[in-house]
Structure 1
Amino acid sequence: MRSDHHIVVLGAGYTGMFSAIRLAHRTRRLGVRITLVNPSSRFVERLRMHQVAAGQRLAEHRIPDLLAGTGVAFVEGTATALDPVARQVVVDGAGTLAYDTLVYALGSSTDTGLVPGADLHAFTLNSPEVAGRFAARLAEVAQAGGAVTVCGGGLTGIEAATEIAESHPGLRVTLVSLDEPAAMMGGKARAYLQRALERLGVTVKAGARVVKVLPDAVELEGGELVHSDACLWTTGVKVAPLAGEAGIAVDDRGRVLVDATLRSISHPEVHAVGDAAAVRMPWGVIHGTCQSGLPTAQYTADAIARRLRGRPVRPFRFGYFHQPVSLGRRDAVIQFTHADDIPARWHLTGRAAVAYKELVSGSPLLTYRLSKRMNVTTIVSKGGRALQQAAL
């Protein structure tokens, strides 16, 4: 290994930030250089964007402050082009960065291009700025006693709908979902969640497909119009096109195809983590969550450090553990799962679930602070019996 080995990490979300900080700790005696690239110097807590959308003020965290003491260089700018042959990244406003190893952690965002009008008339939780604009609109709608529609019955949509309803009790909040809300949870957890939605006055339209978003309504399949003074879009995911445009092998969703050690199958000097990677376990491809993203970042930092030392690397192994969802600030439900994300028998509700969810939401920042001095694990399960059985 050359003493000037340069590692570039693209993206400072949950996974990119953890990759950079853990890499700095694991390679501190190897003389490598690490550069973290991100469009903004603000670290975004994606797990809390529904709170911003509801009008709550959150603590602001700056990326240079989180990196302080690690030796990681921060470059503020957007990666606009990638040349995996020359091993270079073009960063808007910062020129060209050469790398020996690249950690691709550009993440994902909500896709508003799936339904006509969503890109024009719906808000998302893709950034604090957009969520903040929705919060400003929400305040106007609440003052007039208007109606808000949340599209998407996954955990993000549920958290947003309940947070909005609790923060603005005079609003008429409708949750539109193609399936039953939180369909991935067990029956008891779903029943508890449904009671919470009813208690908060959220109207649920399950089994409804949105076909168009209008300035003042959401049109459902069949022609029904749901009046909406403000629409929040939380369904559909897209990833950055940079890897695919550069000729790196990607799947049909644009995620980097990786081997068992999370290296690109076409360009092994590129490591992909989090939502940007198509990570396959024996039961299927991991879906993007912070729960799965942080372990990929931890593993990748350790794998890179081991390779730089000439040591072997074992395949990545991961199993799910829970499905946590907040229901406003005073309620929550936690569905515990098997490693393949199938609901287990156990779930947690009420105040204990609120404390649990808050611990989950705050854990990344604590992990970053501790990881400057020690190796902190974020892998709760490596798959266990579920992984072994799926491999048979």
Structure 2
Amino acid sequence: MTNNDHRIVVLGAGYTGMLAAIRLAHRTRRTGVRITLVNPSDRFTERLRMHQIAAGQELADHRIPDLLAGTGITFVRGWATAIDPGRGTVTVDGGTATLEYDTLVYALGSSTDTSQVPGAGEHAFTLNSPQGAARFASRLRETAATGGAVTVCGGGLTGIEAATEIAEAHPGLGVTLISLDEPGAMMGEKARAYLHRALDRLGITVRVGVRVTEVLPDGVELETGEFVASDACMWTTGVRVSPLAREAGIAVDGRGLIRVDATLRSVSHPNIHAIGDAAAIRMGWGQIHGTCQSGLPTAQYTADTIARLLRGKRVTPFRFGYYHQPVSLGRRDAVIQFAHADDTPRRVYLAGRAAVLYKETVSGSPLMTYRLSKRMNVNVTPYKGGRATRRPVA
């Protein structure tokens, strides 16, 4: 088979899928490779900004066909509903279309899981989509008019950003952040103290060490039996991935992530490359957890790897190390914890106005990267982890 016959299908046009497709198009532009990108919506979702929509802000409307203009990539709008690795096909929208592939890039990502706690799926909002965030914003406006209360369940970075954004945009609301672990627990002592001062300044009530056992229309019930009344509940804890890989017989781990080798290729189907939140990727220091920070480097690496394989060149293992934990605290404050390769905190952190500028640069960088990647190979892996990623994987 010549490269002119080679068909590449990329599933998912989030941060990782978009970069993988555009970079692949640039890297294979003279080979005749055909690239198809599949996504259920033609709007590009800036997941890093979903909390801004939830607080009632208007964001720019970026359309996937516009971002792909000039690349030669074919965009198919629809849900991938089945994969047949034996035949090398992807079924779209339950049979409306069937796409054949020689190489598949699996970039379906993850979403917030509301299935583990009764009532969460029915009564809580999530940041899984711009539509869901906008519905929450509408509820917020109604709640703010009556001076009501809001609960944010989950004290990870997403929950912190959502709670602070809501409290800043609607100072008359009572905002409660409920978390099993201390918010900012992954940060160093000084950065964590700064974060908690920001929560106090914004008037956010923090409940730590308690688990939500049920979400009701008018509040949440805790494992202690206590009822916390609220007019709107934002759910930010728990992660689930698409069942598509497991259903297709592709080797996955216990969470449904595709098991990959050192070059991010499926251990059961080497012509399938998994990136971002969809892949179970291990470094010498441990397993990567899904973030845009780690996802974009997997996309860059995979695009380069596929291009090299098509040219018959040698491929070196993927290497990555974390370097920061950026957290916005509303529009006028932020804290950046700089990290070791394994995401444990360094002594250095950044806060205040400088951190706001830093965080905005981080949030806006993917779109700039896509535009530049049409013309050049942009490096989105500033740090490969040093010695920590040269150690053998356990």
Normalised to the residue count of structure 2, the TM-score between the two structures is 0.98
CA contact (8 A) 2:327 2:336 kept: yes
**SS of corresponding position for 2:335:** strand
Match status 1:285 vs 2:287: yes
Q: Quote the offset at 1:387 in angstroms.
A: 2.5
Trace 1:216-295 onto structure 2 (pairs within 5 A).
Answer: 216-295=218-297
Percent of residue pairs bearing the same amino acid type: 76
Amino acid paired to 2:101: Y
Q: Which residue of 2 aligns with 1:138?
A: 140
* 1:389 Cα deviation from its structure 2 partner: 5.6
Aligned residues: 392
- Equivalent residues of 1:336, 1:344 under 8 A apart: yes
Partner of 1:32: 33
The correspondence for 2:105, drawn from 103, 107, 110, is 103
Q: Match for 2:180 among 174, 178, 190?
A: 178
Output the amino acid matched with 1:32: V
- 1:202 is matched with which residue: 201, 204, 212? 204
Partner of 1:12: 13
1:41 partnered with 2:74: no
**AA aligned opposite 2:62:** H
Counterpart residue identity of residue 53, structure 1: A
Contact 2:154 2:236 in 1 (8 A): yes
Shift of 1:29: 1.1
Give the corresponding residue for 2:336.
334
* TM-superposition CA deviations, 1:46-72 (whole Å, max 9, x none): 000000000000000000000000000
**Match in the other structure for 2:159:** 157
Is contact 1:321–1:336 with CA below 8 Å preserved after alignment?
yes
Deviation at 1:40, TM superposition (A): 0.4
1:253-297: per-residue Cα shift (whole Å, max 9, x none)?
100000000000000000000000001111211000000000000
Contact 1:319–1:380 (8 Å) recurs in 2: no
| Secondary structure at 1:43 match in 2 | coil
Matches within 5 A, 1:295-334: 295-334=297-336
Q: Is the 8 A contact 2:12 2:109 kept in 1?
A: yes
Contact 2:282 2:393 in 1 (8 A): no
Q: 1:375: which partner in 2?
A: 377
CA distance in 1: counterparts of 2:102 and 2:390, whole angstroms: 35
Distance (whole Å) between structure 1 residues aligned to residue 188 and residue 179 of structure 2:
17
How far off is 1:4 after superposition? 1.4
Post-superposition offset of 1:243: 0.4
Cα deviation digits, residues 34-93 of structure 1 (max 9, x gap): 000000000000000000000000000000000000000000000001100100000017
C-alpha distance in structure 2 between counterparts of 1:13 and 1:269, whole Å:
21
Provide the rounded CA distance (Å) in 2 between the counterparts of 1:309 and 1:152.
Answer: 46
1:312-369 C-alpha deviation (Å, 9 max, x unpaired): 0000000001000000000000000001101001000000000000000000000000
**1:190 to partner: Cα distance:** 0.4
Distance (whole Å) between structure 1 residues aligned to residue 150 and residue 355 of structure 2: 27
What is the identity, as a one-letter code, of the residue corresponding to 2:224? Answer: G
Deviation at 1:390, TM superposition (A): 7.1
**Deviations 1:124-151, CA, capped at 9 Å, x for gaps:** 0000001100000010000010000000
The one-letter code of the counterpart of 1:176 is I
How far, CA to CA, are the matches of 1:144 and 1:327 in structure 2?
24
Asked if the contact 1:147–1:173 (Cα under 8 Å) also holds between the matched residues in 2, the reply is: yes
Measure the CA separation in 2 of the matches of 1:391 and 1:69: 40
CA distance in 1 between partners of 2:392 and 2:194 (Å): 31
* TM-score in terms of structure 1 length: 0.99
User: Could you tell me which amino acid in structure 1 is paired with residue 150 of structure 2?
Assistant: V
Matches within 5 A, 1:75-154: 75-92=76-93, 94-154=96-156
Pair 1:83–1:391, CA change in 2 (3 A):
closer
Contact 2:210 2:224 in 1 (8 A): no
**SS state at 2:315 partner:** coil
Give the Å deviation of 1:388: 3.8
Is the Cα–Cα contact under 8 Å of residues 338 and 386 in structure 1 kept in the other structure?
Answer: no
Question: 1:13–1:143: structure 2 CA closer, same or farther, 3 Å change rule?
Answer: same
Given that 1:75 and 1:94 are in contact with CA atoms closer than 8 Å, whether structure 2 keeps it comes out as no
- Report Cα offsets for 1:91-144 as digits up to 9, x if no partner: 017410000000000000000011111001100000000110000001000001
The whole-number CA distance in structure 2 between the counterparts of 1:34 and 1:97 is 11
Structure 1: gaps of 5 or more residues: none
* Letter in structure 2 aligned against 1:50: H
Q: What's the C-alpha RMSD, in Å, of the aligned pairs?
A: 1.0
Q: Structure 2: which amino acid aligns with 1:332?
A: A
Aligned CA distance change for structure 1 residues 256 and 67 (closer, same or farther; 3 Å): same
What is the identity, as a one-letter code, of the residue corresponding to 2:78? G
Please state whether the residue corresponding to 1:205 is helix, strand or coil: strand
> Aligned-pair distance for 1:391?
6.0
